[in-house]
Amino acid sequence: MSMLQHFSISSEPVNADAIKAFVQEVSTGATVIFEGIVRPDDMGDQEQVASIEYEGLPEMAIKELEKIAVQLQSQFEIQSIYFHHLLGKVAVGQTAVWVGISAKHRKDAFGALDVLMDEVKKTVPIFKKEIGQENSTKWVVPTLQNEKK
């Protein structure tokens, strides 16, 4: 079964209404729109994250996202998927990643969203650096305990 899909990585934010319009181009029973927002996490030494700077390899990222989409299609009955990730500096409270998924049924839409985000954090070449209120920086490395720079 074919699926409508859009993957993009850039320094330009997108409009959530445009995502909704995209995923609802197909007749659907459930639409899930997700926004990943930068949190004011604790960086230690009483400093909080003020922004996150993202860098990555967009062409390869899209290739990896296409592989994930194939996996999602084998696991869930989804009709469309939209994914956009920002590169560059994103302030606390602002959206860094947008996802839209449509499916006939809610469980497939939510399930696919959950797996998609898990897989993005395994293979899609995007890297983030936390920037604190006092301008300390710390690369986020999931497998290591990070050290403040």
Q: Which residue of 29, 42, 91, 127 would you call a contact of another protein, by CB under 8 A?
A: 127
**Cα(21)–Cα(39) distance, integer angstroms:** 27
Residue 25 is given by DSSP the state S
Q: Does 42 bind another protein (CB under 8 A)?
A: no
Task: Dihedral sign for Cα 91, 54, 143, 73, please.
Answer: positive
Distance in Å, CB of 9 to another protein, minimum: 9
Q: Does 144 bind another protein (CB under 8 A)?
A: yes
Q: Which residue of 39, 106, 121, 148 would you call a contact of another protein, by CB under 8 A?
A: 121
Burial of 86 (0-12, 13-18, 19+ CB in 10 A): buried
Distance in Å, CB of 104 to another protein, minimum: 26
Q: Does 36 bind another protein (CB under 8 A)?
A: yes
Q: Are 99 and 16 in contact (CB under 8 A)?
A: no
Q: Which residue of 13, 18, 21, 55 would you call a contact of another protein, by CB under 8 A?
A: 55
**Cα(102)–Cα(105) distance, integer angstroms:** 8
Q: Does 141 bind another protein (CB under 8 A)?
A: yes
Q: Which residues bind another protein (CB under 8 A)?
A: 36, 54-57, 59-61, 63, 85, 97, 117, 120-129, 139-144, 149
